[in-house]
Chain A
Amino acid sequence: MTESEGSPQARLYSHFSHIYVEKNLAGSKRAENIINKFPKANVIEINHYKDIFNRKNQSFSAQKASQSLILGEKHADLVYKGAPFCQDFGNSEFYYTSLVMGCVYDCEYCYLRGMYPGGNMVAFLNAEDFLDEVKKVSCGKKIFLCISYDTDLAAMESVFGFCALWHSFAEKNRNITIELRTKCAELGFLKKLRPLENYIIALTLSPEKNAVRYEKKVPSLEKRLEAGRMAAELGHPLRLSFDPMLKTDNFDETYKDFIQKCFSSLPANKIKDIGFGAFRISPSYLKAMRKNYPSSAIALYPYELQDGAYSYDKTERDYMTSKLMKYIEKYINNDKIYLWDT
């Protein structure tokens, strides 16, 4: 028997066929509820989530092909100050928090490909500690808090229920404006949530061509638009995020048609605001991304390093930005458009 005589390529386990649970959580109600959603899963007890998530030599791409779920608790660094690469929408007190690390979707431009040691998903079940910490950080002041940065929380709502949890927190803490960023099209859970001014649904949209090419496992543009329309009609504040703006062939036409498509589906008068920015990434993440995905066009592109971030060169970025701005301004007032740039 030789390598070439070997059987056809090994079959993969389905997603979440294996669930790792910290020993002290095994048997807890929240853990059981989650595990029961995956009746066929093999459950493995572990000491600490980092024993699995932070191992050496992991393959992000292999794990993304057959993701495992890790249930743990986190007790430090529960809330972070907003990173300079992220959009603050004019909020000076900008924070983010991650009850879940890792995403069910698999976007080629995702910075998680360079940020995390592996592609599995970790959910922290001591959610109340996170809520308490946010309250402490806000200290009664107005703050802006992103809850779905290193994951897509809405895409996992049927499993974790964290969107609803944050919603009830927002209801009681009106000084805290929460942004739920998502590419999910299954937003039916919003029907059960009362629209709140301080609970914003931020829907990330990309031209169909880019979505098909770079956003693996993500619902189509069409479906996301439908979900966005539903959210807006229910009265939830809807933010649109055209982020990252990617350099593509026929940029002008691609983005012009895309914006037109968005606003033929979505009621412009119900859009709270819009954010966009060109693809940018930190040097260390880009390096890891290239290692994990050596033939990814997004990772290999010869970016320019400016102010600590890799992005398209300034002339091109300015060109793309001004074009996209022009297309958006046809539908939305300039003061509702937020641009991320270095």
Chain B
Amino acid sequence: MLYITTALYDEASPYIELLGLKKDVSFNKIRVYSNENAVLAVTGTGVFAAVSSLSYVLGRIQPSRGDVFLNVGICGGRGVTNTYVCRKLSLFGDKRAYFCPDMIYMTDFDEAELVTYPKPVGEIPKGVLVDTEAYGLAFAASAFFSPHRMFFIKTVSDEGDHDRITHGYIRELMEKNAEKIAAFALSIPHEEALEELSSDELCEIEKLRMSTTQTKMLKDCLYYYRLRGGDVLKLLRELPEVKTKQEGRETLDRIRRIAAGSVI
């Protein structure tokens, strides 16, 4: 699942269209759009709005290990234009507050460092991008997502001269790279996961009436047996019936030996 956040609806709209997202009416505090592959939250502007909105969404749709977080939107930058992927996000006024997403997957964009301010700044420092949300989002998202699956991709809209920022201008800027950015986020490979045992196999395991710990140990043995090319279901079906705890222990031991194979 891809989790996207933007501060404004104008930043979100190209992604809503591209990904075919529908308004999720179960969220009534902020605007959320979703389908089976992605969820997009329009968090509102400012670091507090960003943190609370994102926490609200993540509390309701809990991410799993392999999910991807993407923050897109406009930002300020002095003497620069273009779109940048952020390698460091910090909070203005707090030297200890910063977050570095893992830079593992390559984008076509240059990298930049971004500072999140409590309110829009007129005088933008040189060499960094500025916004009013990203650090807060990083802070909230890092409790749920792996740092290599978090992306902050920002497009410079102004040098602090906020008057030029209109709805149309934001959309125009965002539309330029939306397709590329969405394709990138969707291309992040899935995490390696252990394939669960089949329902038939689980059903056979239940018949062995083992304790929770024994069942866990048994499953581990069976994963290894499967990895070695063994037929787990056949092995389980050929086991003698288990009636007592002692027989359960013996069965576990037997499966462990079969799974491990012998070197002697």
Is B61 an interface residue when CB atoms closer than 8 A count as contact?
no
Partner of A295, one of B18, B19, B184, B194: B194
User: In the complex, which range does the number of interface residues on chain A fall in?
Assistant: 35 or more
Please name all residues of chain B whose beta carbon is closer than 8 Å to the beta carbon of A137 when the two chains form the complex: none
Q: Which of A11, A61, A320 contacts B105 (CB 8 A)?
A: A11
Contact of B106 among A8, A12, A300 (CB under 8 A): A12
Bits for A63-105, please: 1 = Cβ < 8 Å to B, else 0: 1011010000000000000000000000000000000000000
Known A-B contacts A57-B142, A300-B227; A319 and B186 likewise in contact (beta carbons under 8 Å): no
With A247-B263, A251-B263 in contact, is A11–B227 under 8 Å at CB? no
- Whole-angstrom distance from the CB of B92 to the nearest CB of chain A? 16
Query: Which one of A10, A42, A248, A300 contacts B184 once the chains associate, using CB atoms below 8 Å?
Result: A10
Q: Which of B95, B103, B185, B259 gathers the greatest number of chain A CB atoms within 10 Å?
A: B103
Docked pose: A66 CA to B247 CA in angstroms = 48
Asked whether any CB of chain B lies closer than 8 Å to the CB of A39, the reply is no
The answer to whether A302 and B256 touch (CB under 8 A), given A1-B182, A294-B193, is yes
Contact between A1 and B145 (Cβ–Cβ < 8 Å)? no
Residues of A within 8 A of B256 (CB): 302
B206 at the interface (CB under 8 A from A): no
Q: Which 6 A-B pairs have the closest CB atoms?
A: A6-B186, A294-B194, A10-B105, A7-B183, A300-B224, A66-B104
Q: Of the candidates B88, B103, B142, B148, which one forms a contact with A17 in the assembled complex, judged by CB atoms under 8 Å apart?
A: B103
Interface size, B (range): 35 or more
- Closest A residue to B179 by beta carbon equals A1
- Min CB distance, A153 to chain B, in Å? 25
Q: How far is the CA of A302 from the CA of B214 in the complex (A)?
A: 13
Q: With A10-B105, A294-B193, A315-B264 in contact, do A47 and B98 touch (Cβ < 8 Å)?
A: yes
Contact with B along A289-308 (1 / 0, CB 8 A): 01001110100111000000
Given contacts A17-B103, A295-B227, contact A44 B88 (CB under 8 A): yes
A52–B147 Cα gap in the complex (Å)? 10
* Residue B189 interfacial (CB < 8 Å): yes
A-contact 0/1 string along B23-44, CB 8 Å cutoff: 0000000000000010000000
